[in-house]
């Protein structure tokens, strides 16, 4: 659309002409920008989008999962591996396979970081958040250093320098601040050309009446299209072509908010490669039947994630002969994909992904141009989920990990019961405390008195001793014996590269 008349005609057909109510108040530059935005709206897609949102608002949407409990079955044992399920020799074999693939530059990591982090209550991307560690490192800083360390481990074992490219999917809200943050921090020691940022698409938020909202006088209120927008974004930004140029064959895909995420985890990569999988998911054992996490399972013979809200209570409570939950594979949004699988999804299936409905509080301009921040949901955002592609896999596998070692998400501000900066910080410090104990260290308080030991629990409170270990010193607890064995450590203690050198001497 190049003119006001064209825009008006198009919007009248869509019953969205209210979007032009402030046209006369816009500057010439604002008018050009708004016309460009309006011209990007696909008429057919927008009509379907608004119709679907309106139906959802009035409970008219029919769920394809109605009666799914009759078709649900747990993941068969032959498709599952895991830290507790597999013997040590097998785990070492998988790790060596993963290290080999990393050393050959065949592995990349892909971060899903397009969300706004509204629940956390900060006006910047979640990866920039500092949970209050002694080092004051942000999530991005920790993750970058884990990439550097896994590159170093692979190079050391296989004798050749290697690269794990870091692809970061952002959104209109997060791209600029993320780029600026990385520049200001010199990409945390990574080569800038190996950190590739790209944007996912934005889609309009829709009111319960099927009308779009104005965010500003010349701007529609938009939202990222969910982490399942990844597949369209890969296509839009030619990311798979970039991966092919680099020789990347395997992708580790994860969400930004998990402070314990193992970047390019060699064990997980090796497990998936050895199983010949094109798609894999890490899971944790559900803590209790009603835990609000999705479950990886099969429905009608097809692998998928069933949301906790969609499972009947009696199904969630089903237990096996040893008392274990039948549906225990809790989804943590931590996945393995081959590049070929992603290519087939983007070319054949991404348009078939289910739209999920989320009721949201959408700020908007009222008829007088005043910004209204609603106190209760007033609109709908339609999202796609990254894991909805499991159904297209030819060989899907599941890898179960220990929650206390690999999953502690940051979703809510402090004051909430779960998944807060405090719980994330405690999880990481508890992990490092137990790594140090396992390496033979003892802890002293500031007066030199021994600090009593504390056994490991899944839900750790604040660890009795504060010890933070830099990812540049240890990726996952390895290599600490020669530094910490028989050492008495006064807390708080940060084991970074400088401290490690001192301990060696």
H or E stretch including 333?
A: strand 329-338
Question: What ranges in 247-300 are assigned the alpha helix state H?
Answer: 266-274
Task: Based on the fold, state whether residues 38 and 159 are members of the same structural domain.
Answer: no
**Taking residues 77-96, what's their average pLDDT?**
95
CA distance 328 to 326: 6
Domain-located, residue 46? yes
Range of 33's domain? 4-57
Q: Specify the DSSP class assigned to residue 355.
A: P
Residues 6 or more apart whose CB falls under 8 angstroms from that of 438 comprise: 477, 480
Task: Based on the fold, state whether residues 138 and 184 are members of the same structural domain.
Answer: yes
Task: Based on the fold, state whether residues 143 and 237 are members of the same structural domain.
Answer: yes
Phi, psi (degrees; rounded to nearest 5) at 301: 85, 0
CB 418 within 8 A of CB 336: no
CB 480 within 8 A of CB 489: no
Task: Based on the fold, state whether residues 158 and 261 are members of the same structural domain.
Answer: yes
Structural tokens at position 310 = 């969609």
pLDDT band at 119 (very low <50, low <70, confident <90, very high): confident
pLDDT in tens, 254-294: 999 999 999 999 999 999 999 999 999 999 999 999 998 99
Task: Based on the fold, state whether residues 48 and 190 are members of the same structural domain.
Answer: no
**CATH code of the domain in which 342 resides:** 3.90.550.10
Percent of the chain residues past pLDDT 90, beyond the cut: 73
Task: Based on the fold, state whether residues 144 and 17 are members of the same structural domain.
Answer: no
Task: Based on the fold, state whether residues 213 and 350 are members of the same structural domain.
Answer: yes
pLDDT in tens, 10-54: 888 888 999 999 999 999 999 999 999 888 776 666 777 677 666
Domain-located, residue 165? yes
Structural tokens at position 363 = 């700020």
**CATH code of the domain in which 451 resides:** 2.10.10.100
- The predicted structure's pLDDT at residue 365: 94
pLDDT band at 62 (very low <50, low <70, confident <90, very high): very low
Domain-located, residue 51? yes
Domain-located, residue 154? yes
Domain-located, residue 301? no
Task: Based on the fold, state whether residues 271 and 341 are members of the same structural domain.
Answer: yes
- Structural domain count of the chain: 3
Domain-located, residue 328? no
CB 383 within 8 A of CB 225: yes
pLDDT at 80 over 60: yes
Domain-located, residue 420? no
Task: Based on the fold, state whether residues 459 and 350 are members of the same structural domain.
Answer: no
Domain-located, residue 390? no
CA distance 258 to 424: 8
Task: Based on the fold, state whether residues 111 and 34 are members of the same structural domain.
Answer: no
CA distance 345 to 337: 11
CA distance 125 to 129: 7
The pTM (predicted TM-score) of the whole model is: 0.92
Task: Based on the fold, state whether residues 34 and 130 are members of the same structural domain.
Answer: no
Task: Based on the fold, state whether residues 144 and 176 are members of the same structural domain.
Answer: yes
CA distance 33 to 21: 16
- The predicted structure's pLDDT at residue 56: 62
Q: Which one of 382, 405, 440 terminates a domain?
A: 382
């Amino acid at each position: 659309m190049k003119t006001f008349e064209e825009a008006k005609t198009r919007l009248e057909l869509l019953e969205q002409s209210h979007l032009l109510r402030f046209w006369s108040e816009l500057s010439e530059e604002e008018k050009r920008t708004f016309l460009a935005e309006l011209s990007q709206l696909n008429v057919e897609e927008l009509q379907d989008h608004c119709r679907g949102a309106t139906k959802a608002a009035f409970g008219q949407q029919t769920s394809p999962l109605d009666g799914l409990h009759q078709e649900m079955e747990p993941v068969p044992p032959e498709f599952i591996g895991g830290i507790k399920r597999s013997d040590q020799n097998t785990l070492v074999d998988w790790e060596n396979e993963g290290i080999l693939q990393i050393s050959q530059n065949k592995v990349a990591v892909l971060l899903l970081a397009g969300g706004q982090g509204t629940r956390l209550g900060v006006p910047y991307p979640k990866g920039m958040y500092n949970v209050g560690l002694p080092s004051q490192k942000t999530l991005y800083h920790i993750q970058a250093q884990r990439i550097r360390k896994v590159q170093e481990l692979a190079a050391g074992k296989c004798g050749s320098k290697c690269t794990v490219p870091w692809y970061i999917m952002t959104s209109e809200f997060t791209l600029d601040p993320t780029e600026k943050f990385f520049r200001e921090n010199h990409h945390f020691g990574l080569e800038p050309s190996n950190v590739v940022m790209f944007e996912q698409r934005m889609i309009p938020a829709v009111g319960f009446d099927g009308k779009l909202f104005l965010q500003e006088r010349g701007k529609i209120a938009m939202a990222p299209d969910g982490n399942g927008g990844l597949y369209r974004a890969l296509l839009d930004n030619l990311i798979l072509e970039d991966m092919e140029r680099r020789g990347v064959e395997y992708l580790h895909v994860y969400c930004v908010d998990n402070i314990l995420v193992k970047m390019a985890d060699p064990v997980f990569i090796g497990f998936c490669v050895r199983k010949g999988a094109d798609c894999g998911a890490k899971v944790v054992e559900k803590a209790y039947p009603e835990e609000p996490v999705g479950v990886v399972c099969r429905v009608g013979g097809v692998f998928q994630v069933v949301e906790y809200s969609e499972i009947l209570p009696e199904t969630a409570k089903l237990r096996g002969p040893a008392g274990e939950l039948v549906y225990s594979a809790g989804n943590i949004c931590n996945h393995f994909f081959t590049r070929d699988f992603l290519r087939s999804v983007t070319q054949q299936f991404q348009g078939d992904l289910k739209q999920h409905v989320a009721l949201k509080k959408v700020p908007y301009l009222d008829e007088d141009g005043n910004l209204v921040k609603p106190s209760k949901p007033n609109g709908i955002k339609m999202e796609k989920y990254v894991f909805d592609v499991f159904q297209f896999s030819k060989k899907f596998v599941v890898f179960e990990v220990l929650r206390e070692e690999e999953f502690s998400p940051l979703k809510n501000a402090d004051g909430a019961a779960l998944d807060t900066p405090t719980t994330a910080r405690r999880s990481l410090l508890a992990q490092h405390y137990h790594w140090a104990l396992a390496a033979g260290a003892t802890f002293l308080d500031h007066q030199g008195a021994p600090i009593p030991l504390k056994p490991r629990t899944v839900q750790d409170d604040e660890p009795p001793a504060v010890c933070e270990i830099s990812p540049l010193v240890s990726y996952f607890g390895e290599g600490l014996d020669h530094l910490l064995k028989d050492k008495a450590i006064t807390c708080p203690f940060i084991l970074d590269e400088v401290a490690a050198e001192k301990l060696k001497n």
